[in-house]
Structures are given as structure tokens and as C-alpha cells.
Structure 1
């Protein structure tokens, strides 16, 4: 086999390979002999047909199979012999032979770039920090109370936070429209369930009272038939109920899973859960800034084939996500440019992290993997069962191993970069989750 490697660009290569036809003919003959042992040919018993007849019936298919196998095997051997790291899939091209004695073809492909992680000594990395205060724990308790709110009917004017049950009828130019009327419709004032004009009209009404008002639908309203139009509504309040939050007492503690109803134990467990969640979010933010730093100091030329594969993967992932939400994606366009930037980021990080893990020996140690699993298990009632589940199947350890390896990369970067702490308040870190 003759091989010639040509450099087309920084990452693109072209291999020209020539395999003697004599070698191919020998393989075709050998395979035909194997086929002949069991070949079913009309007029002959299985395995008794002459080789000439077997060749007439099976020769073309066998030769095609041999040629395909020759292309793949020869390419694999050529890549190995020339120590090339192929990125993505090769594109095979037919080559016109010069002497007719060899089967010649070419493969065009990209190789992985040489990755050299940039200098981090002068790179500033802002490490997020947040203190879990008593106030933060109390806010979490308040959220848990709101999640278990009940409502009690009151005989007064409705105000923000009250739950109302109403009948309403909406008309445009005196004609009722689809979706503009309802009976026994419940909503809570101040939660943004209804348009502002609707909530404003309901506020201040008591059970049994009614009101007429105009409502201008926004131009971008999801209901296209009424978007940009003004409707006349009549609303009748049937009941007004005020929110009743549970007291922080023994019953509440039991509701949260503390068997003996000990309030102090409940607060202790809530603090532990909050601290665990804060640590998780800080860890994720730290990882983000570390990865951004690595990208900044390590410019790379990316193999187009790898980016294309990642774009395809992201698009398929998005389609599946939409489908899981009940959306019809059969006619939905998924332009590749929507995913290109993120695909490039992921490919670059994959190359950088792979190089770091190999060159700096940052693979996770067994005890580190166990620490990750223990952290996962800590939030369950029976953590030992969770641990056993992970170790019952080696494939389940891949996730924890990957996370532990990433932790090693983050620690390695932080040990070399200029680290400055950046404080986040509890509310900033937790975001909308604390407003539930």
C-alpha cells in the first residue's frame, strides 16, 4: 500500500492511497470460496455450485464489499502509521489510477489542533462568594410558607394577594369573542396572571359586586384575533379570599418532614439545605468564570467537522426538548446559525479540557468521585441507598467522574490565576427562586 499525505491547510489533510488490484483480487477470491460453501444457486445443492457460477451470482456484491472494506481499512492503517488524529469523518474521493495496477483513492479530513493552554498568571478570575445569614434562612422559610398557603373567604374589598373567583364577559364592538368569557374563574391579584387593566378593575371590589371597564390588548398579544384591539369587559366578583400562611410551629415542621415536629431541627435542616444549594450555585458560577478564562487565554482554530457535529447535536437536543413540551417541530425551522456560537464554545472547551486533563493528570481519583456521590446523596432521606445505586453499575459513575474531573480543572486554574472574590447577595445568587 502506497500512502501520500498532503497538507491543505492548518487542520485539513489529504491522504492519497494506492492498493494493488492483485491484493484486492486475492481477497475477493478468498471470500467467494467462503460464499461457495453455503451458496444457494438454482439447479445445485447448497454449497455444490461451481466457482464460476458462484462468481457470476455473487461476484459483483463480494467485490463491492471488499472495495469498501479496503477503503476503510487502508485509511485506518494510513492514519495510524502517520500518527494523525482525525477530527470528524473523512470525505473519500475517487482518484484516476496512473498505471491501472492499483486501486487509488483519496481521503480529505481535518485533524485536531495542537492545544497549548495560555498563561494564567496575569489572568484575573472573579470567584463568587455568598454568606448564608439568618436572614437568608428566614427568607427560605417564608418561601416554604408561601408554597403552602391556604385561602380564607373574607367580606371586604379585594386587595393585592387575595384570591378571587369571578365571572367575566368581554366584547369587541358589542360582539363576544373567543376566550373572552368565563365563569368561576380563579386568579390571585398581584401575580400577573391577568392583564394590568383587568387586575386594576377587580381590585377594590367585594363579593357580589360588578364593574364594567375597557381593556386594550397589546399589539403583541398572543391572541392574534384581539391583539391591538380594545374590548369592553364586565366582571362580577363571586368570592374574595385572603392568603393564610402557616405558622412556623410543630405542625409546619412535620409538614416539612421533621417527624417529631421540632422547630429548631427544622430550621437546622433548612439551613443545611440552603448552604448546600448556595455552595452548588457558587460552584457553578466559579466553573463558568474559570472556563471563560481558559477560552480567553487559549485561542484555537476549530475543526469545522467537530463544530458541525456539535451544531447537529444541539439542534436535535432542542427539537427533543420542544417535543417533550408538546410542541410540533415537524415544520419548525432550526437554522444552524442559532447553534453555531454555542457549538464553537463547547468544542473549544472540550479540546482545552481534554488537553489539561491529560497533560496535568487531572483525572478524578476514586475518593473524589465518592465525595461527589456523597454530596448528591446527602439531600435524600436514605443517602446510603443512593450511594449503592451509583456503585451498582459502573456506567452510572461516569457523571460523578466527569464532575470531579471538572472540579480538578477549576482548582488547577484557580491555583495559577489571580483570584479576586466577588460578593453576591443571597437574593442575587438565588434569583427568582426566592420569590416563589
Structure 2
């Protein structure tokens, strides 16, 4: 057996292998001998078929089997001898039978890239910080009250937060909507998306009053013929409802599963939940910021084309599935090339994390695995059943273990880089931000 390696462009290598006839034929003879012990042919007793006939009937098949085994063994030898770490399975690209009974072939392999050395102490990463205040807890209690609020008819003046029902007609010189009668619309003032001019006009009005104004017809009205155009908007207030919030009392607290009805316990539970949400958000943002900074130090690092292709295709399928889940039954297939940039970032993140874990000998802390499973379980009504489900499902366990090892790597990164603290309020941190 002769093995040579040709370096192609980037991470590709071509493995050239020559198998001599003396490496192949003895194994073919051995396989034919084994077949001869088992095969049944008409006119011959089992185990008594002449070798010449066996070679005629099964020789080519036996050779193909032997070649398949030798090809696999020789490729593995080439990989092990050269200490290659592959990004994808080897691909045999060329085969040829030699005149002397030997066999030659080529296999293309794609290597995993090497993450460059990074001086972590020179990298600065922003990390947000916030304290949970009484105001944050009271704001969450108000949100819980709104979930259970009652709406009462009102003849008073409209104010922010009121539920307003109106009939309207919108028109310009070319088009009127609707052509007959009026359109019905409900508005939660302060939350529903409506033009500012309409919101200002509604404030202070009462049920049964009417008005007309010029405004830019918003796309949210779903009338393509008028979208974005100036229109005359005529409307009548049909109904006004004001919210009546429930009292924060024992009955209210019990409705959230706290059997004691203790308001202080509700506030403590809310505080713990807010702390958990805050930590998760802050950790995720720090991870994103840190990996973005680390990626900038790996800008010249090539990535395996096979990995980029697979990840791009996976992300495209995910996008299609999300569209279907949002109600788009015939969601079209997405173009994987549109996801290449995001796929490369995701792959590079993974390679950086794996490289740090390997170099720093960071192993999965199974105490933290148990803690994370318990934390997940506490968000369900039957925590013990959820815990049992995780421990019985290898995929779920693998997912948690991966999250834990990544968290451990991020803890190591945080201990090495320069952390720039950014103090903010809880609300500001929790606001959605651009992920770029």
C-alpha cells in the first residue's frame, strides 16, 4: 500500500492510494474460500463446489467487497497517520484497476480549520448590568392585573388605555373605503398601531361623538388602494370601555397558584423570575458580544465549504418551517445562499467555543447540568415529570450538556477579557435589540 497526500486549495486534501495485487488477491481468495463453505449450487454438494467455478461466479463480487474494505482501511490509515481532523466524510473521486491486478484511487477530504491563537486580555467586551427594583416588581404586578382586568362601558372622556370601538370611512379623490356603509374598528389606545393624528383626535372624545380629519392612511388598515396616502377620515365613536383592574389581594394572589395568598410571596416570586430573565438576557448579550469580538480575530480563518453548505441548508429549512408555523401553509423553500453569512458566523462561534474548551480542558460540569434541568422543570406545573423526561431522553440531555459546556466556556472568557460594565435599568436591558 502506498499513500500520498496532495494539498488542494483551502482545507481540501487529495489522498492518493495504491493497493498492490499482493495486498488484494490473498483477501479475495480467502473470501472465495469462505463462500465455498456456504454456497449451494445445483449439481454440487455444499462445500464441494470447485474453486474455478466459484471464481467465475463470485470472483468479481468478492474483489469488490475486498476493495471496499481495503479502501476504507487505507483512508482511515491516511487520516490517522497524518492526524487529520475531518469536517466531512471522505469522498472517493477516482478509481482505476491496474493491469497487474492492483488498484488505485483518490479520495477528497476536507479538514477542520485551526483556530488562531487569541490574546484574550487585549479584548474588551461590554456587559450590561441592572438591579431589580421595587418599581420593576410593581410594574410586573400591574401587567398581571391587566391580564385579569374587566372592561366597563364608559360615557366619560377617552383616555390612554381605553378600549375604543369606532366606525369609519376613508376617502381621497380617487377611492373611497368602504364603498358602502362604514368599516368597524377596535382600538386599544396606546397599544394599537394607529396614526398619531387619529390618536390625538380620540383623546377627550366620548361615545356617540363623531369627527373628521386629514391623515396619512396607515398600511395597518390593510387597504392597499389607500395605503400611505392622505385621506379624509370620517369616524363615529360607537363604544368606549375603561379597564377596571382587580385588587392585589389574597384572591388575586391565589389565582397565580400561590395557595397562601400572601402578597409578599407573590412579589418574591416575581423578583426571582425577573432576576432569572435578567441573567439569561445579560448572559446571552455578553455571549453575543464576546463571540463577535473573537470572530474579528479569526477573519482570515477558512471554513469548510461542506459545513457552510450544510448549515446554510439547515437554516433555510428552519426559516421555511417558521413560516409554516406562522400560518403560511405553502411557504416557499428558502435560498440557502441567503443564509451563508449567518451560517459562517454560527460555525465560527462553535469552532471558537470548542477550541477554548479543548485548550483549557473544560469538561461538562454535571452538577450544573442537574441545576439547569431543575431550573427548566420549575417553569412547568409538574416539575418532577419534566425532570424525568429529560433524564430519559438522550437528545434533551445532550442539548442541556451542550448549553452547560458553552456557559462554562463563556465564564472562562469573561474571566480573561476586559469586561466593560454598562449599568442600565431592567426595562432598558429587556427591550429587544438588534442582534447584529
- Name the TM-score, length of structure 1 as normaliser: 0.82
Q: Match of 1:315? A: 316
Q: Match of 1:406? A: 406
Q: Match of 1:246? A: 246
**C-alpha contact 2:24 2:102 (8 A) present in aligned 1:** no
CA distance in 1, matches of 2:357, 2:66: 40
Map 1:123-142 → 2, pairs under 5 A: 123-142=123-142
CA distance in 1, matches of 2:12, 2:220: 48
CA distance in 2, matches of 1:24, 1:182: 87
Q: Match of 2:273? A: 273
Map 1:54-133 → 2, pairs under 5 A: 71-94=71-94, 99=99, 101-133=101-133
SS at structure 2 position matched to 1:131: coil
**C-alpha spacing 1:377/1:93, structure 2 compared with 1 (3 Å):** closer
| 1:283 lines up with 2:292 in the alignment | no
SS at structure 1 position matched to 2:431: helix
SS at structure 1 position matched to 2:155: coil
Deviation at 1:197, TM superposition (A): 4.7
**C-alpha spacing 1:27/1:200, structure 2 compared with 1 (3 Å):** farther
SS at structure 2 position matched to 1:121: helix
Map 1:145-224 → 2, pairs under 5 A: 145-171=145-171, 173=173, 176-177=176-177, 185-217=185-217, 223-224=223-224
Q: Match of 1:365? A: 365
CA distance in 1, matches of 2:227, 2:51: 79
CA distance in 2, matches of 1:344, 1:408: 23
**C-alpha contact 2:128 2:422 (8 A) present in aligned 1:** yes
Deviation at 1:101, TM superposition (A): 3.5
Aligned length: 431
CA distance in 2, matches of 1:218, 1:311: 36
Deviation at 1:66, TM superposition (A): 6.4
Deviation at 1:17, TM superposition (A): 1.6
SS at structure 1 position matched to 2:88: strand
Deviation at 1:339, TM superposition (A): 1.8
Deviation at 1:230, TM superposition (A): 4.5
Q: Match of 2:417? A: 417
**C-alpha spacing 1:335/1:84, structure 2 compared with 1 (3 Å):** closer
Deviation at 1:88, TM superposition (A): 2.2
When the two chains are superposed, the root-mean-square deviation of aligned CA atoms in Å is 4.0
Bigger shift: residues 11-20 or 53-62: 53-62
Deviation at 1:319, TM superposition (A): 1.6
Deviation at 1:240, TM superposition (A): 0.7
CA distance in 2, matches of 1:40, 1:175: 88
**C-alpha spacing 1:331/1:396, structure 2 compared with 1 (3 Å):** closer
Map 1:378-389 → 2, pairs under 5 A: 378-380=378-380, 382-389=382-389
**C-alpha spacing 1:354/1:335, structure 2 compared with 1 (3 Å):** closer
Bigger shift: residues 254-263 or 183-192: 183-192
Deviations 1:283-338 (A, max 9, x none): 222323333343344553322222222222211221211222122565455251x3
Q: Match of 1:302? A: 303
Deviation at 1:15, TM superposition (A): 0.6
CA distance in 2, matches of 1:180, 1:54: 90
**C-alpha contact 1:124 1:419 (8 A) present in aligned 2:** yes
Bigger shift: residues 91-100 or 350-359: 91-100
| 1:264 lines up with 2:264 in the alignment | yes
CA distance in 1, matches of 2:35, 2:81: 31
**C-alpha contact 1:40 1:47 (8 A) present in aligned 2:** no
**C-alpha contact 1:5 1:14 (8 A) present in aligned 2:** yes
**C-alpha spacing 1:94/1:298, structure 2 compared with 1 (3 Å):** closer
Q: Match of 1:12? A: 12
CA distance in 1, matches of 2:413, 2:193: 46
**C-alpha spacing 1:40/1:267, structure 2 compared with 1 (3 Å):** farther
SS at structure 2 position matched to 1:106: strand
- Name the TM-score, length of structure 2 as normaliser: 0.82
Residue ranges of structure 2 left out of the alignment (5+ in a row): none
CA distance in 2, matches of 1:429, 1:180: 48
**C-alpha spacing 1:267/1:31, structure 2 compared with 1 (3 Å):** farther
Deviation at 1:105, TM superposition (A): 1.9
Deviations 1:221-262 (A, max 9, x none): 865443344444442322111122222222321222222322
Deviation at 1:129, TM superposition (A): 1.8
CA distance in 2, matches of 1:197, 1:52: 97
Deviation at 1:163, TM superposition (A): 0.7
SS at structure 2 position matched to 1:3: strand
**C-alpha contact 1:169 1:180 (8 A) present in aligned 2:** no
**C-alpha spacing 1:205/1:421, structure 2 compared with 1 (3 Å):** closer
CA distance in 2, matches of 1:399, 1:255: 34
CA distance in 1, matches of 2:104, 2:219: 65
